Chain A
C-alpha cells in the first residue's frame, strides 16, 4: 500500500515536467531519425501500409506544428526541415506506393517550398505507375511542368492524361493553354484555388491560402501595371510609381513578409520569393 502511494505521488510529481519536456522538444527532434526504408520494409512485415501512413502522419504533425507556431498576421521565420520531410515522404511511398497523402503533401512542399521540381515530378511519375486511375497526379505534374519548369509540351501531355482519367474537359482546355507561356499568374491562381477548395487538412489549407493570397496580390499588381502602360504609353519605373499614381490601391501586401517590386522587364517579383525564410533583397 505504502509502495502504491509512493508510486502515485512520484508519478504525480514527475508527469507534469515530463509532459512539458516532451512537448517542448525541438521540432527537428520530433521529426526524428527514421531507419532506412530497406530496414523498415523488413521490420514492418505485413504492416507496410500502416508504416507508410505513420510516416506521412509524422510529417503532417510536424508541419501542422510549424504552421501553428505562426500567430495570425505574423511571419513564420523557418520553412522547416524540408529535407527531412521529403525523406520521410519518399520512404512512405516506398512502403506503400499507393499512398496518396504522401504524393499530395510532397507536391506541396517539394515545389513551392523546396523548389525541387524534378524531384517532385519523379515522385509523381513513380506514383502514376501505381495509381493509374488517379487524375490528381498528372494534374500536379502538368502544373509543375508548365508553371515551374516552363516545359509546355510535357505539361500538355500530363493535362491530357488528367483529362482522360477524370473525364473533365477543363483539363483538356488547360492542356492547350499550357502550350503557351501566357497568363501564368491566372493559371497559378486557378490551381491554388482548386487546392484550397479540396484541402481537408487545416495546416495544408492555410499554406495554400497564403500562397493564393500572394498570387492574388501579384495579379492585382499586373493588372495595374498593364493599365498604367496602356494609358501612359510606358512601363512604370517602380511599384511605388503605381501606388503613387493611384493605379494600385491599396498598396500590395506580401503575406510571406516580403516586399513586392517590379523587375527591369516589368515582371512582378517579391523579396520573399513566395516562401518563408527567403533572403530579403
Chain B
C-alpha cells in the first residue's frame, strides 16, 4: 500500500502537476496590491483572496486528480499489471487515495506558506484594526485540506463504478456544489415557513439526501481566519470526526465496488 502511495505521488509529480500549481501560485504575488484596493479591510481581503485561491486550486486538484487517477490506470491497462502483483485491490485503492491525499497536504503547506507571506506583506503595508490570528489561518487551511481530501474519496468512489472520467469528474463537481447548499435546503424544509408549502414526503426525501451527500459547509473556516473570530472547538472536533467517518465509508464503498469490478 505504501508503495502504491509512493507511486501515486511520483506519478503526480511526473505529470508536472506541481509545476502547474507553482505557476498558479504566482498569483499570490499580486494579492497584496489587489487587497490594497479595499477601503477598510486590506489585511482581511488579503486573507480572503489567499484562502480563496488555495481553495480553488485544491478543488481543481481533487476533482481532476481524484476523478482521472483510476480511469487512467484502467485505460492504460496499468491496473492489470499492478493487480497481478501480490497487491490486493483494497491496498491499491487505499494507496491511490493516500498518495493523492498526501499530495494535497503538500500543496496546502507550500501554498499556505506563500499565503502567509502575502498576508504579512499586506498587513505590514496597512496594519489591520484586528490583528491576524495565524493559528486560525492554519486551522482554516487544515480544514480546507480535509474537505478536499474527502472530495478525492468521493471522486475515487465514482471512479470505481465508471468506465470513463465523465462520471467521476462531473459527479464530484456536482457533489461539491450540492454540498454547499445541502445545509441551506435542509434548514429551509424544516423551517416553520416551509410547513405549508413542502409536502412531508419531499421533506423526508430532502432529509435522506442531506444525510447521503457530504456536508462540506462545516469545513469552511474562512470567516474565522479572515476576521479573527475564534472557531467553536466542539464544532471543530465534530467536523474532524465527520471527516474520518465519512471518508472511511467512502473508502470502504470504493474498495467493495472495486473488488467486485470485472477487469477485462
**Which residues of A are at the interface with B, using a C-beta cutoff of 8 A?**
41-47, 49-50, 53, 57, 60, 96, 98-101, 104-105, 131, 133-134, 136, 199-201, 204
Contacts and interface: CB of A to CB of B under 8 A. Distances in A.
A49 to B, nearest CB: 5
Contact of B130 (A41, A96, A133): A133
Given A60-B39, A200-B126, A201-B39, A49 B52 contact: yes
Interface stretch (B10-18, B162-170, B215-223, B232-240): B215-223
Contacts of A45: 176-177, 179-181
Contacts of A60: 37, 39
Nearest to B185: A42
A31 B128 CA distance: 29
Interface string B114-131: 000000000000100110
Contacts, number: 71
Contact of B39 (A43, A44, A46, A200): A200
Interface stretch (B22-30, B40-48, B68-76, B255-263): B40-48
B145 interface: no
Nearest to B217: A46
B226 A49 contact: yes
Contact of B226 (A47, A98, A105, A201): A98
B184 interface: yes
B38 interface: yes
B41 A50 contact: no
Interface in B31-89: 37-42, 44-45, 48-49, 52, 55-56
A201 B39 CA distance: 6
Nearest to B177: A45
A46 B184 contact: no
A225 to B, nearest CB: 37
Contacts of A57: 37
Contacts of A105: 39
Contacts of A131: 227
Contacts of B41: 99-101
Contacts of A46: 55, 144, 147, 180, 216-217, 219-220, 222
B223 A104 contact: no
Contacts of B217: 46
A101 B40 CA distance: 6
A42 B178 CA distance: 8
Interface in B172-207: 176-177, 179-181, 184
Contacts of B226: 49, 98
A47 B56 CA distance: 9
A67 to B, nearest CB: 14
In the complex, which range does the number of interface residues on chain B fall in? 20 to 34
B33 to A, nearest CB: 14
| A-B CB proximity, top 9 nearest | A45-B180, A50-B52, A42-B181, A100-B40, A98-B227, A201-B39, A49-B48, A100-B41, A46-B220
A200 B36 CA distance: 9
B77 to A, nearest CB: 37
Given A41-B184, A53-B45, A53-B48, A101 B39 contact: yes
A131 B39 CA distance: 16
Contacts of B220: 46
Contact of B55 (A47, A96, A99, A134): A47
Given A42-B180, A200-B126, 10 more contacts: A43-B177, A46-B216, A46-B220, A50-B48, A98-B44, A101-B40, A101-B45, A104-B39, A133-B130, A200-B40
Contacts of B222: 46, 49
29 contacts: A41-B181, A42-B181, A44-B180, A46-B144, A46-B147, A46-B217, A46-B222, A47-B52, A49-B52, A50-B49, A50-B52, A53-B45, A53-B48, A98-B44, A98-B223, A98-B226, A98-B227, A98-B229, A99-B41, A100-B40, A100-B44, A101-B39, A105-B39, A133-B130, A199-B39, A200-B38, A200-B126, A201-B37, A201-B39
Contacts of A42: 177, 180-181, 184
A131 B37 CA distance: 21
A118 B40 CA distance: 23
- A43, A53, A57, A136: most-surrounded residue (chain B CB, <10 A): A53
A56 B186 CA distance: 29
Contacts of B181: 41-42, 45
Q: Among the interface residues A46, A98, A104, A134, which one has the most CB atoms of the partner chain B within 10 A? A: A46
Contacts of B180: 42, 44-46
B217 to A, nearest CB: 8
